[in-house]
Amino acid sequence: MVSEGEWRAAMSRCERWLDHRPPASAAAMLQAAAAALPPDAQGDRYGEGGFVETFERRMAELLGKPAAVLMPSGTMAQQIALRVHCDRRGRDTVAFHPTCHLELHEQGAHVHLHNLKAELVGHRDELIALDDLEALRAPIGALLIELPQREIGGRLPEWEDLVAQIQWARDRDIATHLDGARIWESAPYYDRSHAEIAALFDTVYVSLYKALGGFAGSVLAGPEDCIAECRVWRHRHGGTLWNLFPFAASAQRGLDERVPQMPRFLGHARALAGGLRELPAVDVVPDPPQTPLFHLHVRGDVEVIRERAFHVAQERRVWLFDTLAPSVVPHVSKIELSIGEPALEISPEEAVELFQLLVTD
């Protein structure tokens, strides 16, 4: 069995990556962030002024919202947005998908910190449908929709379905919030600008490190009065740090260089999927991919597949995937692939050859 230490060591020695970003030294990351700053950029003081203010304006314009605020984490940003929406409507229940980040990865923080209740909507392996919303009976204060839905393969609802769901919420005075951590990856499928997508929602959160490659952090955008209230909650959460500009600086290059390449990344993801779907032991989910992030469902023994991927990393210096997670189907594992610039160096033909090594008995 390959230990976690051996797994990470093999990754660090790889020269090409199908999934995951190549590891970078702390010094290299700091230098890249500094290089992205304008020569006259000034630091902020507790999130006010300087480069942070400039960055927030840029993000607000990009998302078509009146205002934006930099937050140290997406977890903080989304909890705050939902709290503000629910307080304004006098309701304490938020609706979201069973695989929402709040449900899976935050240890009930929305309950413990904000006394919010969750109403789970839809089936955990399917997109939310209008029928799922119409079946809700609790008084909902806010509806959270994730685009794309990471846990089910980076899937997106069709535009008309999304518009109908937003209208359902508006008709009932339910606030709409977008978990847009990966909004950058969603735009090519809809062939719409980030502002057009964000316009459907009252507030939108975007990640500064996932596709953008920043150190950490997020941005929450929305109406001016709402964002002003969110700034107060940021302070209450302990998120108004002495300097926030490093989060913004480290995300600059991603906005400038990675976001414009998203259509190219999606094209390569679909080309890769076109080859991998031909392997008898591999299913592509969804097929074809709707975003540069998609899943492979692979049949076979988990430890055998992981060990073979380890050997590929050692011998071919190619990193194929980061995690191999069990699925609800026995002997079927789930691999998440997030296609970015490094993956462009690996052709669909080579990807098929390498995955064949993993699944062939």
What string of pLDDT tens digits covers the 361 residues of the chain? Answer: 889 999 999 999 999 999 877 778 899 989 988 998 888 899 999 999 999 999 999 999 999 999 999 999 999 999 999 999 999 999 999 999 999 999 999 999 999 999 999 999 999 999 999 999 999 999 999 999 999 999 999 999 999 999 999 999 999 999 999 999 999 999 999 999 999 999 999 999 999 999 999 999 999 999 999 999 999 999 999 999 999 999 999 999 999 999 999 999 999 999 999 999 999 999 999 999 999 999 999 999 999 999 999 999 999 999 999 989 888 888 899 999 999 999 999 999 999 999 999 998 7
pLDDT at residue number 218: 98
Query: Residue 161: which domain range?
Result: 26-255
Instruction: Please tell me whether residues 169 and 79 are part of one structural domain.
Output: yes
Q: Based on the fold, state whether residues 240 and 279 are members of the same structural domain.
A: no
Q: Distance (Å, rounded) from C-alpha 112 to C-alpha 93? A: 14
Same domain, 173 and 288: no
What confidence score (pLDDT) does residue 24 get?
83
Query: What residue has token string 């020695």?
Result: 13
Best CA proximity match to 331, nearest among 305, 361, 352, 310: 305
* pLDDT, position 326: 86
Whether residue 212 is found in the same domain as residue 304: no
Boundary residue ending a domain (255, 280, 313): 255
Among residues 255, 279, 313, which one ends one of the domains? Answer: 255
One domain, residues 234 and 296: no
Q: How many domains does the chain have?
A: 2
- Of 239, 255, 271, at which residue does a domain stop? 255
Domain co-membership, 166 together with 86: yes
**43 and 139, same domain (yes or no):** yes
pLDDT at residue number 323: 87
The answer on 266 and 182 residing in a single domain is no
Task: Check whether residue 288 and residue 320 sit in a common domain.
Answer: yes
pLDDT of residue 22: 79
Give the SS3 label for residue 41. coil
Cβ neighbours of residue 315 under 8 Å, at least 6 residues apart? none
Q: How far is CA 343 from the centre of its chain?
A: 18
Structure tokens at 308: 């073979």
118 with 140, same domain: the answer is: yes
